[in-house]
């Protein structure tokens, strides 16, 4: 068991932190939402009822949306663009790695590689496809959660008639929420790319080795 935990320690740590922070987000969001309902003289919600509200869905999906856009876009951009000296970039003179070519397939290679054709074409891009599909799902969740929250806010504040998800997609409120998250995600990745040229983190695969010159490109 200890060996298995060690082998999957990074995944366990990341998803463990995710669950802890998601629960904390929901608890604090529940309290905040109930305070707002009380201010307008409406009955408060139970914790489980809160989890089905637009307030929780919007806050959750708008963040997932930006994260997976950033990750999917980053995976695609690093396939075609380079940054001299960055550990986050492939070498300047490298196109496909030897392992990217089917000629180097072995009996232990994944099935799509051994099969070739359409399965291989999809598999070659499956990471970016998966990330961007999760982005699309999160974007849809943001729209649906957002319109529910928007309509509730309009009802609480002015009694205005509800709008559709399509109408909400055309509001400044929706795009303000998205853009404030998108810009921060690309800022963080851009900072990592540039800082990894000059700074190091001992033992991290996200950093070049400590003794490697600044001009060396790639983590190895």
Task: Tell me how far CA of residue 143 lies from CA of 22, 23, 134, 178, in angstroms.
Answer: 20, 22, 14, 10
pLDDT digits (tens, 9 = 90+) for 26-65: 999 999 999 999 999 999 999 999 999 999 999 999 999 9
Task: Tell me how far CA of residue 69 lies from CA of 59, 65, 144, in angstroms.
Answer: 16, 6, 18
Predicted TM-score (pTM) above 0.85: yes
pLDDT digits (tens, 9 = 90+) for 107-148: 888 999 888 899 999 999 999 999 999 999 999 999 999 999
Share the mean pLDDT of the chain.
Answer: 93
Whole-angstrom distance, CA of residue 32 vs CA of residue 40? 13
């Amino acid at each position: 068991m200890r060996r298995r935990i060690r082998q999957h320690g990074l995944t366990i740590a990341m998803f463990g932190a995710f669950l802890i922070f998601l629960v904390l987000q929901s608890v604090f969001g529940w309290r905040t939402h109930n305070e707002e309902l009380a201010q307008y003289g409406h009955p408060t919600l139970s914790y489980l009822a809160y989890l089905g509200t637009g307030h929780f869905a919007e806050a959750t999906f708008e963040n997932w949306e930006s994260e997976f856009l950033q990750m999917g876009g980053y995976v695609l951009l690093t396939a075609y663009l380079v940054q001299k000296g960055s550990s986050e970039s492939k070498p300047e003179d490298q196109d496909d790695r030897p392992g990217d070519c089917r000629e180097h397939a072995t009996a232990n290679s994944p099935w799509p590689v051994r099969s070739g054709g359409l399965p291989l074409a999809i598999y070659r891009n499956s990471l970016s496809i998966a990330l961007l599909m999760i982005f699309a799902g999160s974007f849809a969740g943001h729209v649906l959660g957002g319109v529910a929250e928007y309509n509730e806010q309009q009802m609480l504040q002015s009694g205005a008639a509800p709008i559709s998800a399509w109408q909400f997609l055309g509001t400044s409120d929706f795009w303000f929420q998205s853009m404030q998250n998108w810009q921060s995600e690309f800022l963080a990745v851009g900072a990592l790319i540039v800082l990894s040229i000059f700074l190091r983190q001992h033992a991290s695969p996200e950093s070049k080795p400590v003794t490697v010159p600044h001009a060396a490109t790639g983590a190895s």
